[in-house]
Structure 1
Amino acid sequence: MTDPTTITAQVLARIARPLRLTRAGLAAERLARCFWPASTLLLAVAAAFAFGVQDHLPQGTLWGLAVALAAGLVVALALGLRRFRWPTQAEAMARLDASLPGHPLAALTDAQALGAGDAASAAVWRAHLQRMAARAAAAEAAAPDLRLASRDRFGLRYIALTGFVMALLFGAPGRVGEVATMAAGGAPAQAAAGPSWEGWVEPPAYTGRPSLYLNAIKVAALEVPEGSLFTFRFYGSAGAISLDETVSAGGAGTVVQAQEGPRSVEFAAVQTGTVGIDGPGGREFAVTVLPDAAPSVSFAGDIERKADGEMSQPFSARDDFQIARGRAEFVLDLEAVDRRFGLATEPEPREPHVLDLPLPISGNRAEFTELLIENASKHPWANLPVKLSLTVEDGLGQSGRSETRELSLPGRRFFDPLAAAVIEMRRDLLWSAQNAPRTLQVLRAVSHRPEGFFRNQRAYLMLRVAMRRLEGGIAAGPLDPALRDELAEALWDIAVLIEDGGLSDALARMERAQERLSEAMRNGASPAEIAELMDELRQATDAYIRQLAQQGEQQGDQMAQGEGQRITGDQLQALMDEIQRLMEEGRMAEAQELLEQLNRMMQNMRVTQGEGGEGDMPGGQAMQDLSKTLRDQQGLSDETFRDLQEQFNPGGRPGPGQEPGEGQQGEGRQGQEGQGSLADRQQALRDELERQLGGLPGQGTDSGDAARGALDRAGRAMDQAERALREGDTGSAIDRQAEAIEELREGLRSLGEVLAEQRGERRPGEPGPGEERRAQQGAGGDRDPLGRTIGQSGRSGSDENMLQGEDVYRRARDLLDEIRRRAGEQERPELELDYLRRLLDRF
């Protein structure tokens, strides 16, 4: 059996090394805590003297500072020695034992107090010691705690250490020994090895080259970029050392040091020459100045234009160091302009159109190729002849210029004749303010008979407003430039609205796409524009086929049928591919003939789907029920609107067989009864919609969830409309009913997408017509004459506060113009015309 004393001795022998390291760590702890003020002071003083603080202090001040620093150092050392205690073996063992679980070292030094004579008790004690010995054998040195944050709250030791490291890297550590000589009145340079100097060469920052420390350079030949800055610092007595250089602008100047103390000399290298330092420790350098060549830039290809007017111009630039900046300048080529119509007037002076050239964000700027991408469609010179030149500059300010190219400033092209006319009037107005009367005259002619000419009613109203403002500006005298620019922006928006539309009807959209493509072929559009218009035609054709299928003319396997012919979707696709191929080959006449054939085919087309009706398909009955709910809600909304008209006509004309005044007498009672009846019908529609929600197909799919979400919102709008009707707030009820109608239509579209997915006509996740409409509406939907956002489904309600905003008066004028226009349409119902006339009489 092993004796407890033997076990303890064996353990102590095993942990001898960790114990020594732990004791050393304790010593480091106490040294750091006791002597950090002294070390901080020493490092700070050494850094200050290495940077030459003593050169700027008078001798008396330097002497006093040296005494104060010495006294402070002595006090710090004395306090440190007083607090310092060398760690003992027992303290080291206690620290090591504290780092082990169960304190095994303390257990090994304990003695058995009871039962020492009992064999069983002694065996238990020995087993306990053996377990503690096993734990102690795994001991490792305890890490010292060198944290001083509680003693050095301001981090002075780190500041001093940082300054000392910087002095080692960028200062002169050898100058620390000069302090004693300077305090005694001697010259430090003489006391050391005679006069000394330091020199640096700093190339211009744009070159990216590092600075050079001349004292560390062994070679006598230097190559530096033009404009490099030489800096010399001299120490020693006056006249002991001098500088002779021939690289600066002076040519062959000699700088002689004629004053006591440190002196500095700076000059820029502009020519090849020599730099010599005469005197003790002198050097001579043969300096070769590398000239900075001017940069160059050139076109790397032809300019390209996308269908939306965005241009792309590749260019290449190079320099011996790096390009700092660049610009592209477009100047109107007046001689090449076709001076007809609005361009016959002399143009107003306009600055060149300047664009910044893009530079590489990272990497080498000495030689690169980039793309200048910009959309100048709104510029007054868009699609007019211009001269383009590129210019780049380097860091020295030298510039390089490319050749000048003559081209048309790329911009968006409008293929709709009405949109093109509006854009032309916008161009003429920006060309010269003298064209304002002619612009107004042409716009009046364009908008004289809007019926059947303006596809977008909002575009017509916006054009009328712009014409009225232009007329007022002309009447006030010379057209104000700010008003002209504002009108130009409005005309641009009108043209874009006419061109792009916002057509909700699929057939009209398809016909519109065919017209734009045909117009583009006649006007010689670019391949990119042809491709974009062809994609638009494909999408519009697909949407038209889907609409025919959703209307349920016939059911079964989807097949296009027209004039006795059966055309599959693949055949339609092949026909459009052939049209695109002919256009790409330049055979426009043949492509135009095929396009007209496609147009006739699509106008006569219907979609056949075999036997059965939509109601026989899964979800078909849900579509029929939901369509009926939508029609009922529309009828209820019309009745609510007529009820509102009657409320606003208390003095209206009596009906047949009614004496004057009878309408007023019974109005309150009849209005309340009518609203109560309307509220009950609204509640019934809400209950019916709640019943239909339980049987909707497509649960778990994106389209199915979208349909349920839209119908949920429609139900909430119905609830709000019902409460408004019961409270007598007919205006709010109409707004909520309009919301319900729009959400019902949205639900119908999403449900149609669900059925299309089930029939295999649409892949899950593919954007459907409803999603396309929502994306277009999110980018900016139509607005009514009040400026409120309306959906393509015809919603006219809004939660917006119409009594705020800077354009409230303009919107009021627009609304009055719209009322006058509708009052002049005699084909409208007499009841509506009477209502419009009374509005005009009142306002």
Structure 2
Amino acid sequence: MVWERGARAFWPLAAILCALFAAFALGGVAAVPEAALPWVALLALLAVVATAIRGGLRYRRVRASEAVERLDRTLPGRPLAALADRAALGGEGALWRAHLAQMQARASAARAVRPDADLARRDPFALRLASLVALVMALIFGGGAQIGQGIGAIAATVGRPLAGGEVASGPGWEGWAEPPAYTRRPTIYLNALDSGQVLELPKGSAVTFRLYGDGATVTQDIGAVIAEDAQAPGFRAERSGRIAVGDRRFEVTVLPDAPPAIRAGAAPTRRADGRMIQDFEAEDDHGIAAGRARIVLNLASVDRRFGLKPAPEPRDPVDLDLPLPRGGDRREVSGQIVEDLARHPWANLPVSLTLEAVDGIDQTGRSAPFHTILPGRRFFDPRAAALIELRRDLLWSRENAGRSAEILRAITWRPDGFIDRTLYLQLRGAVGQLESGPLSDEARDRLGEALWKAAILLEDGGLSDALERMRQAQEKLSEAIRNGASPDEIQRLMDQLKEATDAYTRMLAEQGQQDPADRFTENQPGQRITSDQIQQMMDEIQRLMNEGRMAEAQQLLEQFNRMMENLQVTQGEGGEGQEGSQGNQQMNRLADTLREQQRLSDDAFRDMQEQFGQGQFGQDGTEDRAPGAGDLADRQRGLREQLGQQRGMLPGQGSEPGDSARRQLDEAGRAMEDAERALREGDTGGALQRQADAIEAMREGMRSLSDMMGQQRGQADEGQQGQDGQEGQEPGGEAGRTAQDGTSRDRRPMLDPLGRQMDGNGNMITMGNPLAEGIDPARRARDLLDEIRRRSGQRDRPQDERDYLDRLLDRF
């Protein structure tokens, strides 16, 4: 009843106060003309006073008897009043006592009365609700600065005449300091600074003012003027100094912008397809704006013999743009330059490489130039290598035209059975063009392109066409997945990809038999993989698409594309050679995944510390923030999917160490899934525990894989010693190490303490005899597991059988 009477009496006052607060917080005072502002403020004050007086007059204190009466009206028979009655006639006999007992029973059922101020009838226009909505909007979108400005504007009107002539006002001004955009710092409003506060600005900041009236002037000694307008002066902050405007003084400290620093990684490496890969790292206090790599010929290091003896024709340096992130923090950038320079005239010649980084004010940082060999494609066919050398000599200097024509004549002498007829005609045409007279730049470049294509045809035969068909099939399938094509269309494109891949691997195998030498760069890190494993990857892509998991299928397809572009063919050696190389590669991949999991666990721990206000700080004093929970969960999911793919490629199925490694990786995968769920639910502590379990399980799996590889190496050593004993050994030499021809017989790779191969031997594919190799155990296990899943999903089977199949699935 107190609330009801208070709401009825004071709801107009509450509505007016809410509306006034919203007007102040949302900047409504600024919309009122200055001349009308005193009148509006006076009316608002009168309204507040009037409604407060009205509420005070209408409010009446609640008495106890009124409360009892209000409660009694809600009960049948008014039992509270009846219990206070006295019998007028007949005394308090049994009938009266029964009546009181009945009233007491009714009174005991009394409940608190729900309040009802009946404001809907008293406020038919819902003004109270409108003011409440305005209050909520002000609390969400309003600010304390607007309230202060509104109060200041009203206070400024105190003492001014409410009517009459012009109001005299002194000089006024506003000022802003805008740091350069690349620093990503906010603009500073100078009027809001405290008196005596030092103004710290990055070099190149724009300081602008707007003056009101004729009495204010700006003086400064910090930089050049950028705006000549007397009412809106501006200048650039280039050095520390002082700014004076009106009666205010600002001490300015200009923060110098250090030039960017950039450095290159190791010497550029050559990919299997001839592309150059160069690592780099760059940093700047505000961020890298652009960067490039400049490559110039190191003429002093060139072996000036044969076709390189004449003076080279001048060529412009090669400028390559550095790949930089489109968004985010560019203060520390690391990446790789991947560029195909195999056709450049300087390919496989000494060059000097210099990296440059530019910041937002065009300051340039350069790395120390280092000398290296510009990576380019290597050719192993003698005829192709000769054509590439002729092309290099011709692009080096047109003085080599006569010499190149003579060598081409030698290459095309007696072409039957040696050079294809079409290619022979093309090369004879090149001879005629070389001997016809001086070459123009366009003719030289066309001839160089023709020699390149001829060398590719000799080196690869139809391999380049097969590779191009496979790439086109991959691109079509990827595009269909991204655009949500129909299942029939995706299946058709998948069949085309399988056909193109089979043709490519078959041609690779044929060329591997004809030329057992390495076809790509030696010591290129990669993996040894069998044709069955290629088929397994394609089957996995097919399965993911059939299940509608297009994102995972797209990711695995991209990984398959990269692998197929870097394959190398050798004769299949079978047995330990394949399993050992694959085991080394899987050990390396598992080690990388383990390191990524440890980094993720560290980031999650820092994120938990920040939640409790214990965030760590880096060496430069800035807070080392960990990513958000959603980002951490996405990273955890990526690691789990990566581990699942690695488990599918794990060798040694059927052996005790191999099965143990798979079980440990399954446990790690389940722990990763639990950690991902905990991260999404905000349980960082639980996620850390499950991440620790995943790390321990991965370590146990790697130990099992290392034991398996050790057993395989021991078996290989026994076989190698027996074979070497039959072939003979050098007197006094170590058994099984050196053959009679003096060549090394020890083919075991150098291993690190974890059993991983340290020296790379190129990306390889082995096309062995399937009858000799037998049925692939991994393929067989996969088929069995698919059959178990199929049968467990058939509801017409007996319950006992399905329970048994479920137990098998849980175990394996």
Fold-level similarity (TM above 0.5): no
Class of the TM-score when normalised by the shorter of the 2 chains: 0.3 to 0.5
For CA contacts below 8 A with separation 6 or more, give which structure has more relative contact order.
Answer: 2
* Greater C-alpha radius of gyration: 1
